[in-house]
Amino acid sequence: CSCLGAAWAQTPPTSQVSVYGTLDVAVAQRQLAAQDAVRNVDSGLMETSHLGFRGSEDLGGGLKAQFDVSTFLRPDTGESTRGIPGEAFWSRSAWVGLSGDWGQVRLGRMSTLNFVNMMRFSPFGPAAGLNPVFLHTYIGSAAQPLTTIAGATDSGWNNTLAYTSPNWAGLTVAAQAAPSEGGPAGRRWGGSVVYAPAGQPLAMAVVYDRTERASLTFPLAFPTLGGAVPPLTGQQFSMWQLAASWDFGVAKVFGQWFDGQIDGTRPGPPPPDKTLKLRTWQLGATVPWGSGALLASVAQSRRDLSAGGSSDAQDATRTTVSMGYDYSLSKRTDLYAVGMSDRVTRLDGGTTWALGARHRF
């Protein structure tokens, strides 16, 4: 057991660490547009499994020191990643911070503001395999090679300096910046304004982030379609998010709008400079029902390539719909059944279903 730890010479006695995490495993059939269906025991569909260590120290005068380090993991195979080969072990979070009356400052690797609010304002939240808007904005797939601005630049940023304001009657302002350290990831910054007054049905958010001086190369379309090659090298990425939710009691409804742009270069017919626009909307609802909730969400993305050389294969629309029931055995443990349809212009559609269990600790 990890408590009652032995007094250790060099460690002061007041430290506090929580071991926390989530394990999510399902029996599933997965099939995105243009993919073959695969039946398997899978993980991370309803929430990316993870294990972490965090803590807080009261420094007096309202000041606190805080930290969080956590790793993704896949309980179906025992791997310590989200599925990205070679990913750093503590990719989920690794930061230390100070908070006080004036807000919180953090330094390290952490989730981006667009990512956090993408989850917050969608019914399926952290469901990397089942949340339509998550798939459209942060998960690369064969059906959507250049997912969006956000997916290209990761849901977490290295080397980040972040500020979060106190909650002023429901209003919270946050900003993040990460310097370029020479590599292809470039330099990044972003900000958000969230209004979510306690005890009120309304919550809303405006978020923006931007990546500059990057050099990230992607295929531009589904490989079997014309125009997929040569790939695009994106240099500047930006994304706006407008999001809102309203809790009617019998149902909570969600809406999101993402407007993203990638400026980059592509070998081939002139001009070499290309601008790729990706726009996504999401509508959804959660309906409390029995010891759980019905969940429904639809997301649609449209991709436009301007500045010449555009072909049919490059402009495309993707529509993804998920519906399911999430049954709570307790506040920490739930069972879920979810079905999802994924359709992309000119590609065969895909159907996914999952029966799973999630446990938080």
Closest approach of a second copy to the CB of residue 258, in Å: 24
Closest approach of a second copy to the CB of residue 173, in Å: 18
Closest CB to a second copy among residues 181, 273: 181
Neighbours of 33 (CB within 10 A): 23
Report residue 232 CA to chain centroid gap. Answer: 23
Residue with tokens 């956590």: 70
Closest approach of a second copy to the CB of residue 72, in Å: 10
Closest approach of a second copy to the CB of residue 305, in Å: 33
Please state, in angstroms and rounded to a whole number, the distance separating the CA atoms of residues 309 and 303.
14
Closest approach of a second copy to the CB of residue 161, in Å: 6
Token digits of residue 284: 């959804």
Closest CB to a second copy among residues 11, 306: 11
Closest CB to a second copy among residues 17, 229: 17
Closest CB to a second copy among residues 41, 229: 41
Closest approach of a second copy to the CB of residue 322, in Å: 21
Classify residue 112 as exposed, middle or buried by CB count within 10 Å of its CB (0-12, 13-18, 19+).
buried
Please state, in angstroms and rounded to a whole number, the distance separating the CA atoms of residues 294 and 361.
24
Closest approach of a second copy to the CB of residue 178, in Å: 7
Which has the closest alpha carbon to 257: 234, 270, 239, 275? 239
Torsion of CA 305, 307, 311, 313, to 10 degrees: -20
Closest CB to a second copy among residues 109, 266: 109
Closest CB to a second copy among residues 58, 348: 58
Report residue 120 CA to chain centroid gap. Answer: 10
Please state, in angstroms and rounded to a whole number, the distance separating the CA atoms of residues 162 and 97.
9
Q: Which residues contact 361 (CB under 8 A, 6 or more apart)?
A: 19, 20, 21, 22, 23, 332
Q: Positive or negative CA dihedral for 302, 303, 304, 309?
A: negative
CA distance to 102, 190, 301, per residue, from 143 (Å): 45, 28, 12
Closest CB to a second copy among residues 10, 270: 10
